[in-house]
Chains A and B, each alone.
Chain A
Amino acid sequence: SQKIEQNSEALNIQEGKTATLTCNYTNYSPAYLQWYRQDPGRGPVFLLLIRENEKEKRKERLKVTFDTTLKQSLFHITASQPADSATYLCALYTNAGKSTFGDGTTLTVKP
């Protein structure tokens, strides 16, 4: 069956460091992958999308890579800040309309 795994439930880093979150998938041939941020008690908020033919995408301090051979996406937050503390979700899209989300990784950035 199709499965998405995000590297760990929790990631703690120091302010100013780069946070790297991992999203691995099996039994998928996704056309694109998205990353979302979710704060406690709120709905997820879209951050970035990367397509299967793209290796890397950037947006301000965020960078996403997509390796369809390794079946993995990496999500980086550079110069992290306490305000970046949240849960980050990856989502895969295959056939039009169907989506699958990972469990999320909770990032805590300590001042």
Chain B
Amino acid sequence: EAQVTQNPRYLITVTGKKLTVTCSQNMNHEYMSWYRQDPGLGLRQIYYSMNVEVTDKGDVPEGYKVSRKEKRNFPLILESPSPNQTSLYFCASSLKAWGANTGELFFGEGSRLTVL
């Protein structure tokens, strides 16, 4: 089954304790992206990756890191989480970012993170 898988789905952590949210897709997609969703602010793009070893900042990259060493995986790293990073996080992928197809994004089920 074609899917984007995020882990963990739920996490409660404390300020400063490094964590990684994993994202994996099995559709051989070139493009992957991370978003956070907060009430009243909608979905905001954190980082995106056009292909392996190519990443770029979205609108709210502060406090986050990403890497794209393999095509299927795009982990989101919070080196020193703070309470303002409490949010619902979504990973998404698309065949390509531009042109060749619709750019349809396939989303994971979300990871709800609480930082105390």
- List residues of A whose CB falls within 8 A of some B CB: 4, 32, 34, 36, 41-46, 49, 89, 91, 93, 96-104
Given contacts A89-B42, A93-B103, A101-B42, 7 further A-B contacts (CB under 8 A): A34-B103, A42-B109, A43-B4, A89-B43, A91-B43, A98-B58, A100-B59
Tell me the smallest distance from the CB of A75 to a CB of chain B, in Å.
Answer: 16
Interface hub of A45, A97, A98, A100 (most chain B Cβ within 10 A):
A97
- List residues of B whose CB falls within 8 A of some A CB: 4, 31, 33, 35, 40-45, 48, 50, 56, 58-59, 90, 92, 97-99, 102-110
Q: Which chain A residue has the least Cβ–Cβ distance from B106?
A: A46
- Do A32 and B42 touch across chains, with their CB atoms under 8 A apart? no
Interface hub of B4, B35, B103, B108 (most chain A Cβ within 10 A):
B103
B105 neighbours in A (Cβ, 8 Å)? 34, 36, 44, 46, 91, 99
Tell me the smallest distance from the CB of B40 to a CB of chain A, in Å.
Answer: 7
B31 neighbours in A (Cβ, 8 Å)? 97
Tell me the smallest distance from the CB of B30 to a CB of chain A, in Å.
Answer: 10
Tell me the smallest distance from the CB of B55 to a CB of chain A, in Å.
Answer: 10
B98 neighbours in A (Cβ, 8 Å)? 93, 96-97
Main SS of chain A's interface residues? strand
Q: Which chain A residue has the least Cβ–Cβ distance from B33?
A: A99
- Do A97 and B110 touch across chains, with their CB atoms under 8 A apart? no
A-B contact pairs, 18 of them (CB 8 A): A4-B42, A43-B4, A43-B108, A44-B105, A46-B104, A49-B103, A93-B98, A96-B99, A97-B31, A97-B56, A97-B97, A98-B58, A98-B59, A99-B33, A99-B105, A100-B45, A101-B43, A103-B41
Tell me the smallest distance from the CB of B24 to a CB of chain A, in Å.
Answer: 14
Q: Which of A44, A49, A96, A98 contacts B43 (CB 8 A)?
A: A44
Q: Which of A41, A96, A101 contacts B44 (CB 8 A)?
A: A101
Given contacts A96-B50, A97-B97, A98-B48, contact A43 B107 (CB under 8 A): yes
Given contacts A97-B31, A98-B48, contact A103 B103 (CB under 8 A): no
Interface hub of B4, B41, B105, B106 (most chain A Cβ within 10 A):
B105
